[in-house]
Structure 1
Amino acid sequence: MTDSIYLKRTVIKQDIACPLLPNGNRSVRVYLPPGYQEILSYPVVYCQDGEEFFNFGRIATIANKLIIDGDLDPFIIVGVDVDKKNRTNEYSPDESGFESYSRSFLENIVPEIEKRYPVRTDWTDIVLAGDSLAATVSMHIALLQPDKFRQVISLSGAYYPASRSIIAAEKDLSWLYAYMIVGLQETDYETDRGSFDFVDINRKTRQLLEERGAHVHYEEHDGTHVWGFWQKHLAQSLQHFLA
């Protein structure tokens, strides 16, 4: 089988009304699997940093390959875009835009996706995914609505002190399932908040989660804080929850 068959992807781009957000809506892109049928139901993966997951992570091509090769049953992917100028404000739990964005995701985006597409609504068939700060907001959305969101893919999560304090305040996280990776060369990464050791950050977060009973699959690999690293581990992370 040639690689060309994996590149025949169905991705629908649309806007969803989000009154709490500055421009009143949010763009999403929805991947529909090969053989998609509206009469069936599908697991769903919600990706923050949606545009980057599709363009740099090549998640639609990776999903096609997993499904066509028979490694996974068909599933839907929803990538939620973000304005990079406002990304930290929306994704960091200690910033002013976090509440508006998290409420918009929970109250507008997810319900609209569930209305338009046959996605499953049980937590066992829902995965939240993110890279860096997008992993952080995915984790905090799970903490906000644990009855629905319990499975998180965290690619080099940016768990700054405010995030770790929120996690530390939780008493029981035995309901949470996290798949965490970080690159061993991410020890001095420059962000808009300064330079951070992401290996140390993720090790500390893993410890906080496990001390509270969370089920954590944690891996460290050679790699830096870039999509070239994360893309290599997307297939395995999807298989971890959807196989």
Structure 2
Amino acid sequence: MNGRFPEDAYRRKVVSFDVPSACLGRPVTVRVFLPPGDADAEARRALPAVYAQDGQHVFQYGRAATLAHALIAEGVLRPFRLVGIEVNLATRLDEYHPEGRRNAAYRCFFFEELLPAAEARYPVPPSGLRRIAAGDSLGGTVSFDLALDRPDLFQGVISLSTAFVPALLRRLQATKTEAIRHLRVFQYVGTEETAVQTRLGTLDILAMNREGRRLLEANGVDVRYVERPGAHTWGAWQKILPESLRHFFGS
């Protein structure tokens, strides 16, 4: 024993399962990072959850489970679970973009199928910090949409170079302040993201984020805004992940 957790708790643990989806017409693989001390016998204890889009990339390129595990084991972060929702790259744009033809289906999947399946296995607390939506680029776009759809379910958003497309900006402009002023947002964007090549064309992600921040703060949202040198890549997002997690779970 080391005074905090059993020695075997220092071995990183990620489990996965499939969620059948009538909304999307396909099963969706979900990966869950279990924090140190969250042994099988204790897996039903209530812990906050970070629901991350582009789940396979968050774990592979972001090294999110490895980073979170080390920081929790060291006592830097309080325990939480990370739920990575794997994306089908062929339908990503249609599912994540607010005007995508499969966007309504994705949101149906998230609320009606994913949350019940995930939280039947791994419950969140009944109050306080319960759920955070997280995503990069268009994954950040849909994360904001989910939080705006059900602000009663979410307490925060981790936004990594979010594509604040016109449809999302319009929605933020139309949102009633009292509905989202409780949200906390960690918002990162790289200063090199001024001409990002995407399937939507060339986007000035930096300018988009500055406008997104303005609208969020106009609605009373608590925004921790970070601009640093960096491109629109997982290399930059991996570096900022620990800081984004400390913002919500720092001990």
In the alignment, is residue 221 of structure 1 matched against residue 242 of structure 2? no
CA contact (8 A) 2:44 2:121 kept: no
Q: Report how far residue 123 of structure 1 moved.
A: 5.5
Is residue 9–residue 36 contact of structure 2 (8 Å, CA) maintained in 1? no
Within the candidate set 54, 72, 80, 2:77 is matched to 72
Structure 1, unmatched stretches of 5+, are: none
- Alignment correspondent of 1:12: 15
Q: More displaced, 188-197 or 123-132?
A: 123-132
Q: Cα–Cα, structure 1 residues 219 and 40, in superposed 2: closer, same or farther, change >3 Å?
A: same
Asked whether 1:197 is paired with 2:204, we answer yes
Please state if 1:125 is matched with 2:152: no
SS in 1 for 2:91: helix
**Corresponding position: 1:231 with 2:238:** yes
Could you report, residue by residue, the CA deviation over 1:136-176 in whole angstroms, capped at 9, with x for unpaired residues? Answer: 10010000001111300000001111111111111213122
Q: Which residue of 2 aligns with 1:22?
A: 25
**Are positions 1:41 and 2:43 aligned together?**
no
- Are 1:32 and 2:34 an aligned pair? yes
Runs of 4+ that moved beyond 4 A: none
Q: Distance in 1 between matches of 2:128 and 2:193?
A: 31
Q: Structure 1's 6 and 157: CA in aligned 2 closer, same or farther, altered over 3 A?
A: farther
- Relative to structure 1, the CA distance from residue 48 to residue 123 in structure 2 (aligned partners, 3 Å threshold; closer, same or farther) is farther
* Separation in structure 2 between the aligned mates of residue 119 and residue 212 of structure 1, nearest angstrom: 27
In structure 2, stretches of 5+ residues that fail to align are 1-7
Q: CA deviation at 1:47?
A: 0.4
Q: Matches of 2:44 and 2:133 in 1, distance apart?
A: 24
Percent sequence identity over matched residues? 41
Match of 1:144 among 141, 149, 152: 149
What does residue 175 of structure 1 align with?
182
The separation in 1 between residues aligned to 2:187 and 2:206, in whole angstroms, is 11
Kept in 2, the 8 Å contact 1:129–1:153? The answer is yes
Equivalent AA in structure 2 for residue 34 of structure 1: P
Q: 2:194 aligns with which of 169, 187, 193?
A: 187
For the structure 1 residues 90 and 119, does the alpha-carbon distance in structure 2 shift closer, same or farther, using more than 3 Å as the test? Answer: same
The one-letter code sitting in structure 2 at the alignment partner of 1:31 is: F
**Partner letter of residue 229 of structure 2?**
D
Q: Which amino acid aligns with 2:24?
A: L
Q: Which of 96, 101, 104 pairs up with 1:96?
A: 101
2:10–2:36 CA contact under 8 A, matched in 1: no
TM-score scaled by length of structure 1: 0.94
The alpha carbon displacement at 1:121 in A equals 4.5
- Find the residue that maps to 1:186 and give its secondary structure: coil
What is the alpha-carbon distance in structure 2 between the residues aligned to residue 81 and residue 208 of structure 1? 30
Q: 1:123 to 1:79 in 2, by over 3 A?
A: farther
Aligned AA for 1:137?
V
What letter is aligned with 1:116? R
Cα deviation 1:28-85 (Å, max 9, x = unaligned): 1011111112353212111011000000000000111111111112211100011111
- Equivalent residue for 1:241, pick from 232, 236, 248: 248
Q: Tell me the amino acid that sits aligned with residue 192 of structure 1.
A: R
